[in-house]
């Protein structure tokens, strides 16, 4: 494994056309020093998450190639899907893995954003690469979604960090890309035995850090949820016939994934439904599963000296990660793929 290594996890607004997905993946793989680790398309979300890693400069080049290719192939004026989105390459984060600091990733992300902007695609920088505090949050950058960008970029407060700030034909097709630098994030959906998106959304509000807006004595305020570093929404996935709590765990130290799962289970039961399993989107670090295995092993009274493989298999079973499709952890754990 190289001494200096970063990961990139771009989300493209296309999950239904395999030819477009193939061409974008080929744009990534055309760069030496990069390994494409995973391609995870979602039909209902109409979104594909790709994960690749390698030498920092090579990863940035592959990211640029994929963003340009996505803008060439995806017409956002025709896009629809369950997942919030604002651009053909909706979000493109760089993640330090080894031998690279977060400050270095910030500089790489901003350099990538500048280059993408010069190609004619407007860009917001988010998370650690944000130039403004209000742009750290991806959901805030994406507010209004694609349909609202003509008005958004005309607003002085939301002038893109790079690229055009006048609505034109290129922007109409590409939308806006959000580029940044962040730590590891785990994207996971929790399946419910209901088809009610409203119920799923209420559970999401029950658990996510942001919580829900309430009114007390005529004053509105946010009532925070228990899961620090977790963002969540609820939706119905026609493809599976179930509603899901769709969650991004942005701080796996503050909230381990198994704790998020247990909290969603509790709040679901409070609302008269059950969590039937989980759906991982993309990849995850090995320790997410080994820590979950230790948690469920201790709860079941199993020996403390379980082997790594045993811990991971226990985690996969306990989190019910194979609820919707077979789950091979060897193809979903970053360390096994690099």
Q: What are the catalytic residues?
A: 83
Task: State how far the Cα of 251 lies from the Cα of 272, in Å rounded to an integer.
Answer: 29
Vertex 290 angle, CA 47 and 270, to 5°: 65
Of 115, 121, 112, nearest in space to 93 by CA: 112
Kindly report the three-state secondary structure assignment for every residue of 163-175.
CCCCCCHHHHHHE
Question: What is the rounded CA–CA span in Å between residue 172 and residue 28?
Answer: 24
Q: Is 96 exposed, middle or buried (0-12, 13-18, 19+ CB in 10 A)?
A: buried
Kind of pairing, strands 123-127 and 11-12? unpaired
Pairing of strands 34-42, 123-127: unpaired
Q: First and final CA of the chain: distance in angstroms?
A: 7
Label the pairing between strands 89-98 and 177-181. parallel
Residue 134 has a CB neighbour count (10 Å cut-off) of 10
Q: What are the DSSP calls for 191-214, one per residue?
A: EESS--HHHHHHHHHHHBSS-EEE
For 299, residues 6+ apart whose C-beta sits below 8 A from its C-beta are none
């Amino acid at each position: 494994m190289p001494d200096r290594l970063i990961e990139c996890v771009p989300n493209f607004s296309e999950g239904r056309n395999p030819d477009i997905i193939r061409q974008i993946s080929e744009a990534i793989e055309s760069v030496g020093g990069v390994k494409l680790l995973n391609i995870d398309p979602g039909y209902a979300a109409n979104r594909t998450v790709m994960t690749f890693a390698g030498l920092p400069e090579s990863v940035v080049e592959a990211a640029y190639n994929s963003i340009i290719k996505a803008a060439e192939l995806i017409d956002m004026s025709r896009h629809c899907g369950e997942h919030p989105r604002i651009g053909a390459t909706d979000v493109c984060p760089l993640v330090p893995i080894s031998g690279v600091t977060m400050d270095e990733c910030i500089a790489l992300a901003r350099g990538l954003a500048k280059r993408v902007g010069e190609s004619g695609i407007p860009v917001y920088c988010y998370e650690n690469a944000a130039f403004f505090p209000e742009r750290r949050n991806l959901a805030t950058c994406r507010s209004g979604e694609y349909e609202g960008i003509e008005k958004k970029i005309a607003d002085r407060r939301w002038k893109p960090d790079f690229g055009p700030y006048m609505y034109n034909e290129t922007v109409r097709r590409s939308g806006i890309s959000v580029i940044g630098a962040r730590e590891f994030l785990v994207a996971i959906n929790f399946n419910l035995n209901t088809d009610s998106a409203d119920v799923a959304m209420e559970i999401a509000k029950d658990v996510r850090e942001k919580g829900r807006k309430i009114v007390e004595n005529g004053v509105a305020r946010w009532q925070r949820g228990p899961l620090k570093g977790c963002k969540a929404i609820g939706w119905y996935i026609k493809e599976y016939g179930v509603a899901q709590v769709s969650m991004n765990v942005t701080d796996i130290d503050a909230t381990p994934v198994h704790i998020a799962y247990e909290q969603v289970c509790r709040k679901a039961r409070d609302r008269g439904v059950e969590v039937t399993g989980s759906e991982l989107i993309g990849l995850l670090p090995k320790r997410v599963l080994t820590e979950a295995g230790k948690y469920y092993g201790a709860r079941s009274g199993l020996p403390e000296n379980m082997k790594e493989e045993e811990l991971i298999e226990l985690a996969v079973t306990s989190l019910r990660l194979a609820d919707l499709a077979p789950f091979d952890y060897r193809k979903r754990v970053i360390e096994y793929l690099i």
